[in-house]
Chains A and B, each alone.
Chain A
Amino acid sequence: MYIIIIGGGRVGYYLSKALLNEGHEILLIEKNPAVCDTINDELGSVCLRGDGCEVSTLNEAGTSRADMLVAVTADDEDNLVACQLAKYKFKVPHTIARTRNPKNEELFKKLGIDVTISSTNIILEHITEEVPTHPVTHLMEIRDRGLEIVEVRVPADCPSVGRTVKDIILPTGSMLSLIVRKSQKPVVPTAATILMADDQIIAVTTSQTEEALRAALMGE
């Protein structure tokens, strides 16, 4: 694949190095001439000096034949514009942008960027996965449908323990899909299934109803 990377900072540098090792054709675009020279010395002639948000630079880079453009500069606005130019002017099939501000993920998605990566959100997700006391863990997102698959752990002291699924009033758009129990086969919950302490419930929900689902399962 021909992949263009915008921004020769640490992320851009190590990303180029890894992708070159995998045998891809890489072009890194970096504004700072000194940074550009260092990268060319270390990785071979892969770095083009220029502004990745300028049409002339992207023309020079042969962006119209690129399979993917990845924008990893330190500024969210530059990453957004580079990806939008790639997508709408050069018809690049895949665009990936890094964001600093996790709130920009939704905006970038709305504006047509294929994948948005926020390091803040990634670290947060890992923390919530590692910390067992957090009752709702995100497992997966079904982006185009606005749904998410979450895991909810039922603590022993929770009022829902001993209740049947039918007694729990779930918010609209939420569905319990699977219950995983210690030393038992996972069960698909029915109306008569009784919740037990330490159940891991896998549920489908939307980001708007996630909090209501948590409250319903915790018996609040």
Chain B
Amino acid sequence: MKVVIMGCGRVGAQLAEQLDAAGHSVIILDMNSYSFRRLPPTYKGKAIVGNGIDMEALKRAGIESAEVFVAVTQGDNRNIMAAQIAKRMFNVPRVICRIYDPLRQELFQTMGLEAISPTTIFADLLRKRIES
């Protein structure tokens, strides 16, 4: 599968490493080239400097032929906007984004975005561990 990942933080870099090792074609995008230090030397995919909410940068990253787009930058609003660009402007078949704020995650999920809130997941996990 061809996967475009926006944001080369810990999550983005680890996901890129795993998908690349599994044989997928991976392109990772970040505004800061220093972030690419997180990618392992074995990484065979592409790393592109660019702003994921800029349609030109997304085109350069090959979004037009991507099967999956993942938005995992630090900014909820950036992820929301990038995911909507991928879905509505480029018709990427599968779009997933991270939204820390559970309330925004809920709203955009009902509006048709596949959104994950790590806040809710981690809080639930902690609660289950404490109660078990």
Interface residues of A (CB under 8 A from B): 53-56, 75-78, 80-81, 84-85, 88-89, 101, 103, 106-107, 110-111
Give the top 9 A-B pairs by smallest Cβ distance, nearest first. A77-B77, A77-B81, A55-B103, A81-B77, A77-B78, A78-B77, A80-B81, A89-B107, A110-B88
Q: Which residues of A contact B56 (CB under 8 A)?
A: 103
Residue A85 contacts which of B53, B85, B107 (CB distance < 8 angstroms)? B107
Judge if B22 is at the interface, Cβ distance under 8 Å.
no
Judge if B66 is at the interface, Cβ distance under 8 Å.
no
Q: Contact: B81 with A76, CB < 8 Å?
A: yes
Q: Contact: A53 with B53, CB < 8 Å?
A: no
Judge if B75 is at the interface, Cβ distance under 8 Å.
yes
Q: Contact: A111 with B88, CB < 8 Å?
A: yes
18 new A-B contacts at CB < 8 Å, known A55-B103, A77-B80, A107-B55: A55-B107, A56-B103, A76-B53, A77-B81, A78-B77, A80-B77, A80-B81, A80-B84, A81-B77, A81-B104, A84-B108, A84-B111, A85-B107, A88-B107, A89-B107, A103-B54, A103-B55, A107-B84
Q: Which residues of A contact B53 (CB under 8 A)?
A: 76-77
Interface size of B by CB at 8 A reads 20
Q: Contact: A107 with B75, CB < 8 Å?
A: no
- Tell me how far the C-beta of A167 lies from the nearest C-beta in chain B, rounded to whole angstroms: 39
Residue B111 contacts which of A77, A78, A88, A101 (CB distance < 8 angstroms)? A88
Q: Contact: A107 with B89, CB < 8 Å?
A: yes
Asked, given contacts A77-B53, A77-B78, A80-B77, whether A110 binds B103 with beta carbons under 8 Å apart, the answer is no
Q: Contact: A53 with B78, CB < 8 Å?
A: no
Judge if B67 is at the interface, Cβ distance under 8 Å.
no
Q: 15 A-B contacts, Cβ less than 8 Å apart?
A: A53-B77, A53-B104, A55-B104, A80-B84, A81-B81, A85-B107, A89-B107, A101-B54, A103-B55, A103-B56, A106-B89, A107-B84, A107-B89, A110-B88, A110-B89
State in angstroms the CA–CA spacing of A80 and B84 once bound together: 11
Q: Which residues of B contact A54 (CB under 8 A)?
A: 101, 103-104
- Tell me how far the C-beta of B69 lies from the nearest C-beta in chain A, rounded to whole angstroms: 15
Q: Which residues of A contact B78 (CB under 8 A)?
A: 77
- Tell me how far the C-beta of B128 lies from the nearest C-beta in chain A, rounded to whole angstroms: 26
Residue B84 contacts which of A101, A106, A111 (CB distance < 8 angstroms)? A111
State in angstroms the CA–CA spacing of A111 and B88 once bound together: 8
